[in-house]
Amino acid sequence: MKIASIFDCAPRAVLILFGALSIVPCKSMASTPPEPLSFSVPFDVSHAETAVDSEVMITEHRWYYLYVNVFYNDRDDLRRVMAITGDGSKFPDGRYGKPGIVTPIYVKISNTKGEVAFEGTVDVQGTFMKSLVPAVGRRAVSRMILKAPLPVGVYRIQAKPVGDNPGFAGTDCALGIMWVSNAPKLSN
């Protein structure tokens, strides 16, 4: 049985464009929260004691992806990263063909009123995008954590690995968020 990959289906230019738009330097929590396309926070998924606690400004009511970028340097490093992230291939029933190291991550997304948009632990596996990230001059393989609808507002995003993941030791990662480009804006 042939396993289809997102990279077989999506034009390479589209994948590169999404990556280019999804990461630029992040502002600190002390200033205005970054909008989704500029939200990128270093995230060491190899250690359970590592956590991200940051804010993001959502300016359009849409579906959004929360994901982890796993950076690589060259073709040899990409092979190493793909061994730990998987390759994006899926069976017709949605299971990943090569899921890589399954990484449980606790996530909580809440707005400034304290309303929780999402809270739970997600088993992060496989990949959904490879991209060139010009803002940081690096390439990345992206692993989706979740997809959620978010109304306009400022959101606090908290993420933490559940347990150690030694396979990711020494691998640079960042937490990011971007809107789902093929989904229309949602009504208020």
Q: Would you say residue 98 lies in a domain?
A: yes
Q: Would you say residue 186 lies in a domain?
A: no
Question: What is the count of structural domains for the chain?
Answer: 1
* Mean pLDDT per 10-residue segment, the chain (188 residues): 44 38 38 66 94 92 93 92 91 91 96 94 91 72 93 95 95 89 79
Q: Would you say residue 184 lies in a domain?
A: no
Q: Would you say residue 19 lies in a domain?
A: yes
Which CATH number belongs to the domain containing residue 18 in this structure? Answer: 2.60.120.790
Chain-centroid distance of CA 183 in Å reads 17
Nearest alpha carbon to residue 70 among 28, 130, 8: 130
Domain that holds residue 159: 4-179
Q: Would you say residue 45 lies in a domain?
A: yes
Please name the residues in contact with 92: beta carbons below 8 A apart, sequence gap of 6 or more. Answer: none
Annotate 21-36 with b (16+ C-beta within 10 A) or e (fewer): bbbbebbeeeeebbeb
Q: Would you say residue 162 lies in a domain?
A: yes
Model confidence, pTM:
0.77
Q: Would you say residue 185 lies in a domain?
A: no
pLDDT for residue 40: 83
Q: Would you say residue 170 lies in a domain?
A: yes
